[in-house]
Structure 1
């Protein structure tokens, strides 16, 4: 019974926000960039990695072939830091079935502002 009341309250709250004209996320925030930031992690419902992305499965990568990405991640997720580094391993962490985490291996280098 409590669970049903909680769901009803959540739906009514969302309806009130919609009727008043507000949104939880502004349209400007919801728009994706033309090009992702290097190292950006997002979720996709694909069975394959799109071009410029890799699944976050703890893979060991070559520093020489991925210097920019290594400069952001370092050895935080593994690797020896001389020749190799690892991507985060987010297998099984998805809150949604059949959706996986992917990391951008190509894109804009993030700046500090």
Structure 2
């Protein structure tokens, strides 16, 4: 039970850092878009990854193929930082059964204010 609480807390902290860049966003800065931000993490109840999304399972990706996503994540979640980097591993962190976390590999590149 204790480990489950800390895992959820770590996931929520990770999402805040990834989505907010470690800073608070004021309502004036928030903008809705029909296109996701690259690196955005969300949950889907699918057994497959939709186009432009990958499951957050800690897998290694080639930097050459995902250079823009690498520029956002770096090798914070693994990889050698030269040829590969890893996605966050959020397996088992979902608050609902049969729902998984996915990260956008395409979309709007987030800008800093």
User: Normalising to structure 1: TM-score of the pair?
Assistant: 0.71
SS across alignment from 1:90: coil
Aligned mates of 1:44, 1:33 — CA distance in 2:
18
In structure 1, list runs of 5 or more residues that go unmatched.
Answer: 1-28
Q: How does 1:36-55 map to 2 (within 5 A)?
A: 36-55=36-55
Aligned mates of 2:87, 2:107 — CA distance in 1:
16
- Count residues with an aligned counterpart: 84
Aligned mates of 2:52, 2:33 — CA distance in 1:
14
In structure 2, list runs of 5 or more residues that go unmatched.
Answer: 1-29
1:98: Cα distance to partner?
0.5
SS across alignment from 2:106: coil
Runs of 4+ in 1 over 2 A off after TM superposition: none
Q: Deviations over 1:2-31 (max 9, x none)?
A: xxxxxxxxxxxxxxxxxxxxxxxxxxx8xx
1:33: Cα distance to partner?
2.5
- Higher radius of gyration, 1 or 2: 1
Q: Deviations over 1:60-99 (max 9, x none)?
A: 0000000000000000000000000000000000001100
1:34: Cα distance to partner?
1.2
SS across alignment from 2:57: coil
Root-mean-square deviation (Å):
1.5
Q: Deviations over 1:24-65 (max 9, x none)?
A: xxxxx8xx6311000000000000000000000001000000
Aligned mates of 1:112, 1:73 — CA distance in 2:
15
